[in-house]
Structure 1
């Protein structure tokens, strides 16, 4: 009978996979021996594998270029990175190696832009697309960036007052975009996104506020929906409504030349993950091309703002199973040496699931378990995977530690969890590594941040 953990995985999935394999019953990820990494640096441990960022950026660029060539599309494609997914310098440095642009969402983002400009990582012609609802400091920082001579700063107008506020901060001519307030899926608690301007009001807003405004050129129409880019009726319907607005706007606005379709590419959250990126890109380009050709208007340049797709699959976390508690006849709790609430907050806040696999003991029998975190909060647990209604791991042995890894955790988790700040129940934030490869393909490992110490937490608390 095939009862080993490796039998379960091989019978359930197509395994090994591009990034996962096992050798001697130990897990390798992108060629990294994770048990060796854990032996050297300990657990809990978080790390970022930088090459995956460039790999995903260039995959998307190639897919879009292939679609542009196939459909004889006359516009260009611009890849931008949504900085709120992860603001860390090592992330931006890696992403910006690939001739991309960025999208910002708050005042401090512009400070990051200025820092990167000083280091020549961002040029004056790099597109800085400024999204979000803009408070005074954000408006001021955008104005300062335009005043400094940054040619391709494009604030995206979110409401009727922002244009006048921006004009108060700079006397230079500048470009803007307008965000469409898209309609949400029927299951949402609200009908229309709080961000942007309604479909029916955009052309009249342009004619009233921008058409005769000699300081401002409308360059971009911005379209984004919360559920992301999916092959369903809702997405295609919203895209077609967006294209109608673009066409009507283009007919009265000669400077409009760009359509920003936002972010929303999913990332791998299960070994059974399937998503046809190439088909979706091909169909988006095709639909934009057809709609503009039928309306006899020029096609737009296409911009995307991929955040999770850029950085999500570069991140991982490792924990040690400290102890197993049998709470009743059916429930076995494997207690980890950290907290899900603090280190993987999306697993708690929005019930997000990540790829979870053991690092060792693939040759042992498996058992169904629940995973518990160290905080005293009843919600600090992880109890199922995307593909199955439960978690299966190699059997627990008290004298031989079991290590587990969560993969593709690189987007949002540090920001939402409050990297370097207070953690629930004062559970310290794990040690964090940055992993890269040199020109010969050899691993380069750098310690980015040690595990938090008591003194750091007490200082924040005022002790």
Structure 2
């Protein structure tokens, strides 16, 4: 009878997979990184970023668009942008910009990051800076500083009718802009239209009234964003077609318009049965844009994408130790981790997001059905991998045999949403954060980015010191 944890995984999923395998000790490896060796050296809880995965995903997407452009003889260019809001860390940006990408910003302090990258010559004035989001004084001033300093490829995306005047008051030179479409949200949303951008029907009138005869401003980009991301659904294709109608109508009265930003990211792997045909989606998007433009007899646009989670999400992971098991009734066993889900993986609590979860060790032990609980005194501090199952499976708890578990593809948003380095719920400290890389010979290297938070740091934040 197959009762081992390995048997459960092997008969439920295709295993091993590209990023997951077992070593000779039947312990989990992630992209060839021995995770138990990390635990032995650095302890747990532990967060890590596997930097090579960032470049790998960027290059994969660049390859898909290159293939599609060649396949359909698409006559314009493609530009990959990284959304800094997904993860602002320098090690992430430094790895990403190695690949000749561009940057999308969302708030004032993002521009300070851009200035730092320029100062260190990690990017240059050929790097597009697509400045999105609702803009107020500091953001406007920072954008203006960048453009006044000679960065002509900084393109502020107009989000509302007032922003153009605010920008013109602060920018001394002629400058380029984009306009964001306020897309209609999927029917299941509690609101009908995105709060960001300008409505479909109002864009051409806005251009004619405020931009067409404005000598300081040139419209270069139409920005289209779908909150649910790029997916093969009737909703996505319908919204893309509506966007293309706006682009075509705008292009016919605005010769300077030459770029379309198809914002909304690719999905990332959140299960061992994840299946998504990226190349098909890219090829179909490129073909639909080309066909619509040719039919309308307008030049197809240069294409921009803004991939945040896709860029950095699959590089991240977290490792916890099971501290104790609580038998709460005849059928509920709670495995308590030595950290908190609310503070370290806030999306599991806020939006019931799933991440890949696997045992790190003891794969040849028998498994049991459990629930996972965090250390805070909050009833919502738990994780369940299948909402309809209310339980997950792990090797049986043995007090004398420590069990470690890993959550994977957690690299996007969790630190910024969780308030990295600040106060945490119930004062549960942020774990140690490790950076994993490979040298020129392919050997794995590790270094500590931040140690675990200390009580002194909390006391300072709280005003006790």
Aligned residue number for residue 327 of structure 1: 328
Match for residue 369 of structure 1?
Answer: 370
Q: Look up the SS of the partner of 2:238 in the other structure.
A: helix
Between the aligned partners of 2:387 and 2:35, the Cα distance in structure 1 is 23
How far has the Cα of 1:26 moved from its partner?
Answer: 0.3
Task: Give deviations 1:52-100, integer Å, cap 9, x for gaps.
Answer: 0000000000000000000000010000000000000000000000000
- In structure 1, what is the equivalent of residue 116 of structure 2? 115
2:2 equivalent in structure 1: 2
8 Å Cα contact 1:269-1:386 kept in structure 2? no
Partner of 2:460: 459
Residue of structure 2 equivalent to 1:45? 46
The question of whether the paired residues in 2 share the 8 Å contact of 1:270 and 1:387 is answered with no
2:391 alignment counterpart: 390
Runs (5+) with no aligned partner, structure 1: none
Deviations 1:428-460 (A, max 9, x none): 000001111001000111110000000000000
Contact 1:54 1:98 in 2 (8 A): yes
Tell me the SS of whatever aligns to 1:79: strand
Structure 1 position 25 matched with structure 2 position 42: no
Match of 2:133 in 1: 132
Shift of 1:225: 1.0
Q: Deviations over 1:375-418 (max 9, x none)?
A: 00000001234796530000000011000000000000000001
- Within 5 Å, which residues of 2 pair with 1:289-328? 289-328=290-329
| Conservation of the 8 A alpha-carbon contact between 2:355 and 2:385 | no
Q: Secondary structure at the match of 2:263?
A: coil
Conserved 8 A contact 1:270-1:386: no
Q: Distance in 2 between matches of 1:389 and 1:66?
A: 43
Q: In 2, Cα distance between the equivalents of 1:20 and 1:385? A: 20
Distance in 2 of aligned mates of 1:440 and 1:324: 43
CA separation of 1:390 and 1:345: change in aligned 2, threshold 3 A: same
Which structure 2 residues correspond to residues 425-436 of structure 1 after superposition, within 5 A?
Answer: 425-436=426-437
Residue in 2 aligned with 1:62? 63
Task: Look up the match of 1:360.
Answer: 361
Partner of 1:234: 235
Shift of 1:25: 1.6
Is the Cα contact below 8 Å between 2:438 and 2:444 reproduced in 1?
yes
Corresponding residue for 1:159?
Answer: 160
CA distance in 2, matches of 1:267, 1:400: 33
Q: Distance in 1 between matches of 2:330 and 2:123?
A: 59
8 A contact 1:353–1:386 mirrored in 2: no
Deviations 1:345-370 (A, max 9, x none): 00000000000000000001110000
Report the equivalent of 2:13.
Answer: 13
Give CA deviations for 1:183-210 in whole Å, capped at 9, x if unaligned: 0111111110000000000001001111
Deviations 1:207-244 (A, max 9, x none): 11111111111000000011111101000000000000
How many residues of Structure 1 are paired with residues of Structure 2 in the alignment? 463
Q: CA deviation at 1:266?
A: 0.5
In terms of mean alpha carbon deviation, does 446-455 or 376-385 score higher? 376-385
Instruction: Map Cα deviations across residues 316-364 of structure 1 (whole Å, 9 max, x no partner).
Output: 0000000000000010000000000000000000000000000000001
**CA distance in 1: counterparts of 2:217 and 2:370, whole angstroms:** 60
Q: The residue matched to 2:59 in structure 1 has which SS? A: helix
Q: CA RMSD for the aligned pairs? A: 0.9
TM-score (norm 2): 0.99
Judge conservation of contact 2:227–2:264 (CA < 8 Å) in 1. no
The whole-number CA distance in structure 2 between the counterparts of 1:93 and 1:264 is 21
In the alignment, what sits opposite 1:440? 441
Name the SS for the 1:346 alignment partner: helix
Distance in 1, Cα, partners of 2:393 & 2:226: 35
Task: Name the CA distance, whole Å, in 1 between partners of 2:386 and 2:351.
Answer: 14
CA displacement at 1:38 relative to structure 2: 0.4
Tell whether the 8 Å contact from 2:85 to 2:105 is kept in structure 1 after alignment: yes
How far apart in 1 are the matches of 2:224 and 2:217? Answer: 20
Question: Which string of whole-angstrom CA distances, capped at 9 and with x for unpartnered residues, describes residues 17-42 of structure 1?
Answer: 00000122200000000001100000
1:95–1:386 CA distance, 2 compared to 1 (3 A):
farther
Structure 2 unpaired stretches of 5+: none
